[in-house]
Amino acid sequence: MQDTDSQINQATVPRHIAIIMDGNGRWALRQNKARTFGHKAGVNALKQTIESCASYGVDVLTVFAFSSENWLRPKQEVDVLMGLFMLTLKNQANKLHKNNIRLKIIGDRSRFSTALQGKITEVEALTSNNTSMTLVIAANYGGQWDISQALKRLAKHAKETNKSVDDFDINDFLSTAGLPEPDLFIRTGGEQRISNFLLWQIAYSELYFTDVLWPDFDKNELRTAIMSYSTRQRRFGHTSEQISAGAIK
Ligand code: IPE
Ligand code: IPE
Ligand code: MG
């Protein structure tokens, strides 16, 4: 179902939105609650954001759920996050499938429990032929890990096929192979850094930072981000005049 939100011109809706969902811990601490309370609220904000993106006709939504560095947090918090990941996959799989959403998990899943790895494989298989939107969850993901695993696999493939590494495209070996690059990159929670999220892929993404803490991010906040995106002129190295003359279709 397309949303006919009058403030959003469908032509300027980003095809791919990537989000660093940051600020759960501070959101909880502000209410004198445990940080993990914020992570639970964060799942609700994610559910709403998936629905909003689908209603705007976004093709791909990629969210950063757990970084390769987040293992450094207290074990109790990591355990809660892993538990929430499993629970959310279990609870949301059928809904995603019913809404024709394809789920893809990117990141090094070898460090997850066998049960969680099994669940990920199961939900990806269930939703693999869905076509309305792709939801990419980055879990135990690091941009540096992604580039390094891509280069290793590319070199191995070149060797096995007796070809040169120059015959291949790095994009085809990244965990995001086949997906368009993010048009709009959002970080909530006030920090203005990338924290090892997509590095290669955001070369020409429009960056949007907001102080809103992730559990408070809702459709209005998403609309504000998309409105900001729609005012930008993306030049990809061209001049402004070239763009006005239609250099990019
Ligand atoms: C983001 O919120 C969620 C994860 C990193 C898993 P944080 O937990 O980083 O929240 P803050 O930044 O401490 O407020
Ligand atoms: C980035 O947030 C990771 C996720 C949102 C999953 P962090 O809270 O881990 O980032 P830093 O440590 O503040 O840079
Ligand atoms: Mg944080």
pLDDT tens-digit series, residues 223-234: 999 999 999 999
Which ligand lies nearest to the CA atom of residue 196 in the structure? Answer: 2
| List of residues 6+ apart from 180 with CB closer than 8 A | 15, 16, 59, 60
**Residue 244, in any domain of the structure:** no
**Residue 236, in any domain of the structure:** no
In the reported structure, the alpha carbon of residue 34 is separated from the centroid of ligand 3 by a whole-number distance in angstroms of 14
Q: Which domain holds residue 167?
A: 12-231
> Burial letters for 68-99: b for 16+ Cβ neighbours within 10 Å, e otherwise?
bebeebeeeeeebbbebbbebbeebbeebbeb
Sheet containing 133-141: which strands, arranged edge to edge? 101-106, 133-141, 60-67, 16-20, 184-187, 206-209
**Residue 119, in any domain of the structure:** yes
Domain containing 132 — which CATH number? Answer: 3.40.1180.10
Q: In the numeric block, which tokens belong to residue 140? A: 């135990």
Task: Write the pLDDT tens digit of every residue in 160-204.
Answer: 999 999 999 999 999 999 999 999 999 999 999 999 999 999 999
Entry pTM? 0.97
**Residue 142, in any domain of the structure:** yes
Task: Write the pLDDT tens digit of every residue in 42-63.
Answer: 999 999 999 999 999 999 999 9
Residues serving a catalytic function are 22, 70
Nearest CA to ligand 2 atom 2: 22
* pLDDT value for 42: 98
Q: Is 25 in the pocket of ligand 1 (CB under 6 A)?
A: yes
Q: Is 66 in the pocket of ligand 2 (CB under 6 A)?
A: yes
Q: Is 65 in the pocket of ligand 2 (CB under 6 A)?
A: yes
**Residue 154, in any domain of the structure:** yes
Number of domains the chain contains: 1
**Residue 207, in any domain of the structure:** yes
**Residue 52, in any domain of the structure:** yes
In this structure, what DSSP letter does residue 110 have? G
**Residue 211, in any domain of the structure:** yes
